[in-house]
Amino acid sequence: MDSSFPIDELPLSVLLHIFSFVPWRDKYSVARVCKKWNSLVKDKSLWTYVDLTYETPRHNFKHSPKLLQFMQTYLGRTLKSFRTGACSVNNKVLEFLHYHCPNLQELILEGNVNQELELSLLPETLTCLEISGMMPQDYPKNWFRPLTPDYFPNLTSFTVQDPRNPEETLHHISRLQTLCHLKLLDFDQEPISRPSFLTLVRNLNKLQSLSIEGCCGVPADYTMLIAKHLPKLKQLKLDDSDFLKGKDLKPLITLQHLERLSLECCENVSFKHVAKVVQAMPRLKHLHYCTHKCRYVKRHVLFEKYAFIQSLNPDLQLYYAYWPHWEDFLMEPDSDSDINQFGDEDAPDVCRGWDAESSQSEDEN
């Protein structure tokens, strides 16, 4: 094939297919090549998945008029996923999505939103909605009131981070009975009452994936409520939970469909309790477990602990945090600065049973 073959002679359909792999920021450069390419870049089919998280100074959409102009020029019926990044979002932006993007399925709102923003303006076609990156005071009052099946009949995935009023937010989320995936991030403004959490898990009994990360005010028996009312749960993340204790994992054993469990940065959960869960749940396929204490454990000791957990379920995919090349890190010789902060109670005889405190708590419950 002639290496000097002019790309401009390719059929338009082929050029469109090539341009579909170009990042959205680079499409602007492509549009400056010639009038033909400029016209092609404006084809709505090229703008199916748009992520404005990593915008550049040249493409600054932090002001709503610029963002709206960009949307009117490039976005349309083919848009399926839209991430706003740090862009300023107002009701005109949502109205455009509602009337001109009828096939939008995923919307991620991050950071800068107008205080008058109305979620009721979002298109009914949404199946995934994420609201994150905002401070509690940035949330408009009564913002989550439209979270009902009437406004979002197809919503199956919802994520919210650090809302202004956690109790009220959970009340509105509990009405979305179509949800299969739910993420609650950084609910630390005020404690979540047991009745509110109970209502949530009772109403959302179809959940297959639940993430509770960095939430310091959940009920003491929340794992028991999860195990009792969410029987279809397949994935569970309880990351960054200092309040989670080893004994709290025992109710999770009853979850017959649980395949993925994440316990990253759960400082009060020991290897002993994790090993007990793995032994009692042979159906578990993926496990994320690591604590800050692991940084100070001798590497050969840490290797023995993880190797023992792996031996309880050879098919288990065991993931470790903090180090990109964990196996190499473990196999390096121990340095004099390594400190073993775990005692003999966490040695590879960890499956003797739950500790006395756990047993006593279970009997009381």
Confidence of residue 336 (pLDDT cuts 50, 70, 90): very low
Confidence of residue 19 (pLDDT cuts 50, 70, 90): confident
Higher pLDDT, 104 or 85: 104
The predicted pLDDT at position 188 comes to: 76
> 343-360: b or e for each residue (b if 16 or more CB lie within 10 Å)?
eeebeeebeeebbeebee
φ/ψ (deg, to 5) at 277: -65, -45
Q: How long a stretch of residues is the chain?
A: 365
8 Å CB contact between 43 and 16:
yes
On the question of pLDDT at 158 being above 90, the answer is yes
| Least trusted range by pLDDT, from 71-75, 80-84, 105-109, 317-321 | 317-321
The count of other CB atoms within 10 Å of the CB of residue 1 is 4
pLDDT, mean of residues 178-188: 90
Confidence of residue 62 (pLDDT cuts 50, 70, 90): low
Higher pLDDT, 354 or 195: 195
The predicted pLDDT at position 159 comes to: 94
CA 355 from chain center: how many Å? 32
Q: What is the CA radius of gyration of the chain?
A: 25
Provide the whole-model pTM: 0.80
Burial class (CB in 10 A: 0-12, 13-18, 19+), 336: exposed
245 vs 223: CA distance, rounded Å:
10
Taking CA atoms, 29 is separated from 49, 61, 154, 213, 245, in Å, by 18, 17, 37, 40, 54
Taking CA atoms, 203 is separated from 29, 95, 264, 313, in Å, by 50, 30, 27, 34
The per-residue pLDDT for range 281-321, each reduced to its tens digit, is 989 999 988 877 766 667 777 778 888 888 888 888 888 75
The per-residue pLDDT for range 248-285, each reduced to its tens digit, is 999 999 999 999 999 988 888 888 889 999 999 989 99
The pair of structure tokens assigned to 348 is: 């590879």
8 Å CB contact between 237 and 212:
yes
On the question of pLDDT at 17 being above 50, the answer is yes
The predicted pLDDT at position 358 comes to: 42
8 Å CB contact between 260 and 286:
yes
The predicted pLDDT at position 64 comes to: 63
Residue 262, strand partner residues:
237, 288
6 vs 3: CA distance, rounded Å:
9
The predicted pLDDT at position 2 comes to: 53
8 Å CB contact between 204 and 231:
no
The predicted pLDDT at position 325 comes to: 42
On the question of pLDDT at 5 being above 90, the answer is no
The predicted pLDDT at position 296 comes to: 67
